[in-house]
Structure 1
Amino acid sequence: MLLEGKVAVVTGAGPGLGRTLARLMAEDGARVVVSGRRAEVVETIAGEVPGTLAVPADVTDAEAVRGLAGRVMAEFGRIDVLVNAAFPGTHRKNVLEMDDDDLAGWRRAVDIGAYGTLLACRFVAPHMVAAGSGSIVNVTSMSSRKGYAGRSDFAAGKAAAHLLSHCLADELGPYGVRVNCVAPGWIHSDVLEDWMRTRAKEAGTTYEEVYRGDVERMALRRIATEEDVARAVIFLASDRAAATTGATIDVNAGQLFT
């Protein structure tokens, strides 16, 4: 098992990727701590994955994140792996359409994607440095390197997290702490399916036609799953990636080559 005996913290854990990460990391031997803004969600995940601890915390709240790190250290005495997986969502508005609520939502998305990632690293990294080892994996996005109309909030937050990871890899490397990214493209999910159905309705066609057209633009002719993304995260978190830092693994089924 790749994570045997390691303590892994997953921030921004939600009912999709966060749940999958917790399950697969536990299956690979980790003692998992799931954290997210919604207590009921992380507690549900902990109830589904044996041995998992739920610690609710908003990643944009410095004191809450400080408390998360302290709670994990009090419980386990160490943090070997940090996965920042918050998904801020997007308002799908272009700059000419944004009203005051959209602007506030834009700032919130960037706070989650960038500042939240920084806070988690700020309060967890010192414990890794003290131990002389650790692995941080930031879940960014294909959108961190390719902009799309109406997604500037999500893209800006994830792009900042992407470059932040490079900076932290350089800063923390001398202490034995690695920092890497996993950049998903589209992920098979209810959210993606709903968006495809909306596009189909607007175009006067079927969901199946939209799905087929989208998949044909991907080199592997399929859409990545949450499990695909989680496996890449687990690899980077594990000792098998011991000489890898400042790197990004794209998980997009050939949707974008960089």
Structure 2
Amino acid sequence: MLSGKVAVITGAGPGLGRTLAGLMVEEGARVVVSARSRAALEETAAAGGALAVPADVRDPDQVQALARTTVDRFGRIDVLVNAAFPGTHRKNVLDMDPDYLELWRSAVETATYGTLLACRYLAPYMVEGGGGSIVNVTSLSSRTGYAGRSDYATGKAGVHLLSHCLADELGPLGVRVNCVAPGWIASDALTTWMETRARDEGTTFQTVYDHDVDRMALRRIATEEDVARAVIFLAGDGAKAITGATIDVNGGQLFT
């Protein structure tokens, strides 16, 4: 599906980014992975057979260097996946002190401004090469608000409308822009969160798990591979008539 294509993944640390990099290599792509943490990035690159290029997506100079390094090495860019994780610090607006407000701004900048910068500096190489695909990883949290998650939700929601704008701007030039919006993803972090909820609610992990999964139409939590496969579909030629769209990968937890 991606044979011969050159793909860049931002936010490619542990978890989804690492899984996606490995699967893209298996699909025949030449993959460049990028993140702020060099140690985690090198683990991702080693596990997936990709090239590691550290970069902070909020820094225009570093994003431009990522684009140049990719083109110098592989000659072009066909696919860009923006998957930088802005983090969430779970605080009510009335409890936000000045230090937290800076964390809030940083989270939104990572998600929305970071996505914009990556598109600004990598998309021209796609246009030059005759076209390409941008896939932005957003979240179920950008579809509906939850208390204490306004930083994460706002940043990811901004990416949805940014993607619509860029799809309209870049479509005539042969570049498609779409989103994948995961819900919960089966992981150690999710398990820890459910265990914490169980303790807070005075119940068991299994009770919390069953309650949450029973709200999903498919009665299961999506895996990293489930989300990665949706990204790969949108990145490939099988989706060549799709732009400005969002694929929700949440097991039927939320219909949009």
**TM interval, short-chain normalised:** over 0.9
Code of the residue aligned with 2:118 in structure 1: it is A
1:143 has 2:104 as partner: no
CA RMSD of aligned residues (A): 0.7
1:226 alignment partner in structure 2: 224
- TM-score relative to the length of structure 1: 0.98
Cα offset, 1:97, TM superposition:
1.3
Cα offset, 1:132, TM superposition:
1.5
2:119 alignment partner in structure 1: 121
- Residue 252 of structure 2, aligned match among 222, 231, 254: 254
Q: Aligned partners of 1:55 and 1:230: how far apart in 2? A: 20
Q: Deviation string for 1:175-195 (max 9, x for gaps)?
A: 100000000011111111111
1:174 alignment partner in structure 2: 172
Gaps of 5+ in 2: none
Aligned residues: 256
Q: Deviation string for 1:49-71 (max 9, x for gaps)?
A: 22x10000011111000000000
2:23 alignment partner in structure 1: 24
Write the mapping of 1:197-216 to structure 2, written as runs, cut at 5 A. Answer: 197-216=195-214
Cα offset, 1:252, TM superposition:
0.2
1:161 has 2:159 as partner: yes
1:57 alignment partner in structure 2: 55
Segments of 4+ in structure 1 off by > 6 A?
none
Cα offset, 1:30, TM superposition:
0.6
Q: Aligned partners of 2:190 and 2:98: how far apart in 1? A: 27
Q: Aligned partners of 1:179 and 1:241: how far apart in 2? A: 11
Q: Aligned partners of 2:29 and 2:226: how far apart in 1? A: 18
Cα offset, 1:78, TM superposition:
0.3
Q: Aligned partners of 2:43 and 2:250: how far apart in 1? A: 28
2:33 alignment partner in structure 1: 34
1:75 aligns to what SS in structure 2?
A: helix
Q: Aligned partners of 1:100 and 1:139: how far apart in 2? A: 29
Code of the residue aligned with 1:152 in structure 2: it is S
- TM-score relative to the length of structure 2: 0.99
